[in-house]
Structure 1
Amino acid sequence: MKLRHLLAPIAIVLMLASCQKNETTPSAEKLNLNTANTTGGSYASTQTFDEGFESAGKTAYADADVTFTSGSWDLNSALVGTSASDAKVGSHSIRIENTGTLGMNFDVTTGASTVTMEYAVYGSDGSSAFQLWESTNGGSTYTQVGTTSITASSTTLATATFTVNVAGTIRFQLRKTTGGTNRINIDEFTINSYSGKSGGGTGGGSSTADNTNLMLGNPSNATADISNFDNYLYDHTYYVESYNRDRNEPNWVSWYVGSTSLGSQDRANDFRPDPNLPTGWYEVPATAYSGSGFDRGHNCPSGDRTSTVAANEETFLMDNMVPQAPQNNEQTWANLEEYGRSLVAAGDEIYVIMGSYGSGGTGSSGSATTVDGGLVVVPSNIWKVIVVLPNGNNDLSRITSTTRVIAVNTPNINTISSDWTQYITTVKSIETATGYSLLTNVPASIRTVLENEKDSGTGN
């Protein structure tokens, strides 16, 4: 639930990826239009709403208001499409013709960090372009978000992400700008709220708000300053990471998992490079680990982000991966990930920090220190810390000296046991190995106790 990396002042970065359902190419085009930020710090956001347009209908293009779950929307030269020719998630999507609009008749007061939506052409229609506009004065005047139009040219739903970064009261209007009578479909309109900048140039980069990805703290004091290239704070909306340009992989990744994080979204499998890394940085390709004997091992796992297409697809960016021994990834780590989700299913919420360190692991083809022609480091160890809380509010204040904390540190080898409990350790041990401080937002007296506790692996 965070903001993407931002490159240069008032710059717009356009990513267009072809999307086929296989392991190395995306299942849908993914567009990201990001304004720029060159200062330190990060942004804290949570999802304001994800409107799927399922709760109401409209069968004519004539201008009219329709009330959906999120509120009242104006559909002008637009209707609610339910036919087989409408590209949609579920049974409804918005179909727009000519220069029609889809606009909110209401404001959100949480601001917006990013806005995402699914889009496609309707049936066999030709291409059309559209734009997103914002209003901070109740709809009296609007300003375009960014300067680029998005062109819909495929019948397969794609994801467009607009970076907004506006606090306070705001509403949005989508405008179809070209294509004449060609029609487009819009679905899963999502606003991620903007909670303000934190950390500043000091690199704190942390929010203590409930359900935010850095609630536990910024382990390495990473900053969103490209000169800090081996400890670069990169906010992916659905997880936050410290990226290491020299290793071409994360130092650590931090995220939250609650009941709203989990849904029925299929695994995207659209591994791909990330063009939103700073200009000139190496973009690890989807095929970087091919033939190496190492898996593309997720930090933030696909299974923890199944609420929407956009959330799941974000986990398949290659800067969320490390070269991981297949047995470690597919069994030991998969079992630990599933255990974390089982806690959420049972009524808990969890905060997770995962990372890696060292050089040299053993995959299915033997040992290696790097892959991708020496460009990506194979870590020697992969670790994770999970803080477990019963569902509730004011999460940080509910962490006590008896809160369950699971710390696991595994060697990156293929002969590893599938039983993750064999590798339980303490937070302090991981901190010693990495040099990080993993629970800095927790009061010191409580943190000291938790750092030295060793979980049983059973919750008892």
Structure 2
Amino acid sequence: MQPKQPAQFAAPAPRAPVQSPNTDNEFLKYGYPGPISDFMVRSRYAASYNRALRNPSWVAEHLTRDNMKGTADRALPTAPTSPFPEDKSLPEQFRALLKDYSGSGYDRGHMAPAGDAKINMEAMTETFLLSNMAPQVGIGFNRHYWAYLEGFVRDLTKQFDDIYVITGSLFLPTKNEATGKWTVTYEVIGNPPNVAVPTHFYKIILGVTGGSNFALGGFALPNQKIDSKTELSTFSQPIEYIEKASGLTFFDKVDRSNVTELCKQIACTLTK
């Protein structure tokens, strides 16, 4: 249920500067294949979308007591009538579509939750873009444990001045006991099948007080029904583990030698 933690991690190496591709060379004379990801900034989140998996690799939010206020509600008569629209900012052949989820047995799982974007209807509507979605098990996960975790993150704004949270999908290996080999296996939905179903989802949470006091926690949850009585700490993982698994670097501008573990500073308890 829970990915096994490596014994230890070395301090993360300095992050290499991002290099823009130089397409003026002989190897790319007739075209640049392009990135596999698209970067986007919305009203209440920024994200990187993986074209091959049709999943967000990561979605980043900044939560405060003030920006959690608002009354936007998709149930209002004035709300947009088209639920879960495709993201037309992406090339058409790489978009996730509403029909991909139809009959799949999976929910359209928010990475940036609608509950974090009540400040206005535009912000909330952007959270329903399919580029902010990934297939999640519904009963017991998306509609229950994952929703409790989203509420837990929002409640942290009562204890910290600022909450920065990064959410995304993971594809973790499992061991074949017969062969001893590790493999990554995941379902793909859609017609044709092109939207990957993550094996796990992660949240990285950074709480900031006074601009210089940091608390950091990372969680990796299996994409399956989870008993609501399961302690959140069950899914706690070193940030370095999730970085290695995702190929990403989280909050690299924060000195981790000067950071408190989130669940040692506050009670990591979910409210149902």
Q: Does the pair score TM above 0.5?
A: yes
Instruction: Say yes or no: does 1:455 pair with 2:272.
Output: no
CA RMSD of superposed structures (Å):
2.9
Alignment partner for residue 308 of structure 1, among 95, 104, 120? 120
Percentage of pairs with the same residue: 31
Counterpart CA distance in 2 for 1:201 and 1:387 is 23
How far off its partner does 1:331 sit?
1.4
Please name the residue that 1:288 is paired with: 100
Instruction: Say yes or no: does 1:406 pair with 2:217.
Output: yes
Distance 1:454 1:304, change over 3 A: closer
How far off its partner does 1:260 sit?
2.9
Q: Secondary structure at the match of 2:66?
A: helix
Letter in 2 for 1:447: R
Alignment partner for residue 189 of structure 2, among 358, 371, 394? 371
Counterpart CA distance in 2 for 1:423 and 1:359 is 14
Instruction: Say yes or no: does 1:437 pair with 2:249.
Output: yes
Alignment partner for residue 246 of structure 1, among 52, 64, 74? 52
Counterpart CA distance in 2 for 1:337 and 1:284 is 23
Letter in 2 for 1:236: R
Letter in 1 for 2:267: T
Instruction: Say yes or no: does 1:320 pair with 2:119.
Output: no
How far off its partner does 1:449 sit?
5.8
Please name the residue that 1:270 is paired with: 83
How far off its partner does 1:337 sit?
0.8
Distance 1:265 1:319, change over 3 A: same
Alignment partner for residue 110 of structure 2, among 298, 312, 325? 298
Higher RCO structure, 1 or 2 (CA under 8 Å, sep 6+): 2
Q: Secondary structure at the match of 1:422?
A: helix
Letter in 1 for 2:161: D
Q: How does 1:62-211 map to 2 (within 5 A)?
A: 202=19
Counterpart CA distance in 2 for 1:234 and 1:316 is 14
Letter in 1 for 2:227: S
Letter in 1 for 2:224: I
Distance 1:368 1:447, change over 3 A: closer
Specify every segment of 5 or more residues in structure 2 that has no aligned partner in the other structure, as ranges: 1-16, 21-31, 175-184
Please name the residue that 2:150 is paired with: 337
Letter in 2 for 1:382: F
How far off its partner does 1:404 sit?
1.7
How far off its partner does 1:369 sit?
0.8
Q: Contact between 2:51 and 2:95, CA under 8 Å: does it hold in 1? A: no
Counterpart CA distance in 2 for 1:411 and 1:293 is 16
How far off its partner does 1:228 sit?
4.4
Distance 1:259 1:281, change over 3 A: farther
Q: Secondary structure at the match of 2:142?
A: helix
Q: Contact between 1:243 and 1:249, CA under 8 Å: does it hold in 2? A: yes
Counterpart CA distance in 2 for 1:249 and 1:337 is 19
Provide TM-score, normalisation by structure 2: 0.72
Please name the residue that 1:255 is paired with: 61
Q: Secondary structure at the match of 2:94?
A: coil
Please name the residue that 1:350 is paired with: 163
Counterpart CA distance in 1 for 2:160 and 2:247 is 33
* Mean Cα deviation higher: 423-432 or 241-250: 423-432
Q: Secondary structure at the match of 1:287?
A: helix
Q: Secondary structure at the match of 2:252?
A: coil
Q: Secondary structure at the match of 1:343?
A: helix
Counterpart CA distance in 2 for 1:265 and 1:302 is 9
* Mean Cα deviation higher: 254-263 or 333-342: 254-263
Counterpart CA distance in 1 for 2:38 and 2:84 is 22
Distance 1:252 1:228, change over 3 A: farther
Please name the residue that 1:231 is paired with: 37
Counterpart CA distance in 2 for 1:283 and 1:231 is 12
Counterpart CA distance in 1 for 2:239 and 2:219 is 8
Counterpart CA distance in 1 for 2:261 and 2:33 is 37
How far off its partner does 1:317 sit?
0.1
Q: Contact between 1:383 and 1:430, CA under 8 Å: does it hold in 2? A: yes
How far off its partner does 1:433 sit?
1.5
Counterpart CA distance in 1 for 2:235 and 2:18 is 37
Distance 1:331 1:459, change over 3 A: closer
Q: Secondary structure at the match of 2:112?
A: coil
Counterpart CA distance in 1 for 2:199 and 2:206 is 24
Higher helix share: 2
Letter in 1 for 2:220: N
